[in-house]
Amino acid sequence: MGSFSIWHWLIVLVIIVLIFGTKKLTNVGKDLGGAVKGFKEGIKDVGGDKPADAATPQSPPQQVAGGQTIEGEVKEKTKS
């Protein structure tokens, strides 16, 4: 028994339409589409809230070695 053929999916679709009806399925489709649209707008809003310039000071990342936190700062090397 391999994958389902197109006829299997058509029979399943007909059974779903008979159980739920076309009006309820249309409403579910509209609700799902609205949810996806709202999700995409929410993602765009979150992406727009980030500051664009990199000049804002940020705390240095912390590294963990042997269960202890090591804090450090990278400084530029100057030529001697």
Could you tell me the CA-to-CA distances from 54 to 45, 50, 51, 63 in Å, in that order?
20, 10, 8, 22
d(CA 46, CA 41): 9
Q: What are 41-70's pLDDT values in tens digits?
A: 998 887 765 555 555 566 666 655 566 677
Please tell me whether the overall predicted TM-score, pTM, comes out greater than 0.85 for this model: no
d(CA 50, CA 58): 13
d(CA 60, CA 44): 27
Q: What percent of the chain has pLDDT over 90?
A: 29
